[in-house]
Amino acid sequence: MKRREFLRHACHTMAVPGLMSTIGLNQVNGQSLQRFLQLAAETDRVLVMIFLEGGNDGLNTVVPLNHLSELNSVRPHVILPDNSLHELAGAEVGLHPALDGLASLYKENRLQIIQSVGYENQNYSHFRSTDIWMSGSDSTEVIPSGWSGRFLDQTFPGYPEVYPTDTMKDPLSVEIGFGSSLLFQGPNASMSMTMSNPESFYNLIENRDDPAPDTPAGDRLQYVRLIARQSQQYGEVVKSAAEKVNNQLAYPETDLANQLKIVSRLIAGGLKTPMYMVRLGGFDTHDAQVEDGDHTTGEHATLLKTLNDAIMAFMADMEHLQIADRVLGMTFSEFGRRIVSNASLGTDHGSAAPMFFFGNHLNGGVLGQNPNIHTGQTYEDNLEMQYDYRQLYASVLDQWFGADSSVLNATLYRGYDTLPIISDGVLNAPQTSGSFAEPLLFPNPVKEYATLSFSVRHNPVSVSMMSIDGRLIRKMHRGSFPLGTNRLSIDVRGLRTGQYLLVMTDGRNKQALNLIKS
Residues 6+ apart with CB under 8 A from 433: 509, 510, 511
Q: What is the mean pLDDT of residues 239-261?
A: 95
Instruction: Select the more confidently predicted residue: 144 or 200.
Output: 144
Any idea which of 11-25, 221-235, 502-516 has the lowest mean pLDDT? 11-25
Residue 8: per-residue pLDDT: 36
- Distance from C-alpha of 468 to C-alpha of 499, rounded to nearest angstrom: 7
pLDDT band at 334 (very low <50, low <70, confident <90, very high): very high
pLDDT band at 254 (very low <50, low <70, confident <90, very high): very high
Neighbours of 298 (CB within 10 A): 20
pLDDT in tens, 205-216: 776 655 656 666
Residues 6+ apart with CB under 8 A from 242: 201, 205, 262, 265, 266, 269
Q: Is residue 189's pLDDT more than 80?
A: no
pLDDT in tens, 474-489: 878 877 788 778 888 9
pLDDT in tens, 421-475: 987 533 333 334 445 556 788 888 889 998 888 887 777 788 888 876 556 788 7
- Distance from C-alpha of 121 to C-alpha of 123, rounded to nearest angstrom: 6
Q: Tell me if the bond preceding 371 is cis, omega within 30° of 0.
A: no
Q: What is the mean pLDDT of residues 293-316?
A: 98
Residue 1: per-residue pLDDT: 34
Mean model confidence pLDDT for the chain: 83
Burial of residue 440 (CB within 10 Å: 0-12, 13-18, 19+) is: middle
CB 275 within 8 A of CB 152: yes
Residue 438: per-residue pLDDT: 62
Residues 6+ apart with CB under 8 A from 268: 244, 245, 248, 318, 321, 322, 323
DSSP H or E run through 106:
helix 100-107
pLDDT band at 191 (very low <50, low <70, confident <90, very high): confident
pLDDT in tens, 277-301: 999 999 999 999 999 999 999 999 9
Domains belonging to the chain, first-starting first, are 3-412 (3.40.720), 440-517 (2.60.40.3080)
Residues 6+ apart with CB under 8 A from 431: 509, 510, 511, 512
pLDDT in tens, 53-100: 999 999 999 999 999 999 999 999 999 999 999 999 989 999 999 999
Residue 221: per-residue pLDDT: 58
Q: Please give the share of the chain, as a percent, with pLDDT higher than 90.
A: 55
CA distances (Å), origin 211, targets 11, 200, 207, 217: 19, 12, 13, 12
pLDDT winner (highest mean) among 237-241, 257-261, 514-518: 257-261
pTM to 2 decimal places: 0.74
Among 498, 492, 462, residue whose Cα is nearest residue 477: 462
469 DSSP assignment: T
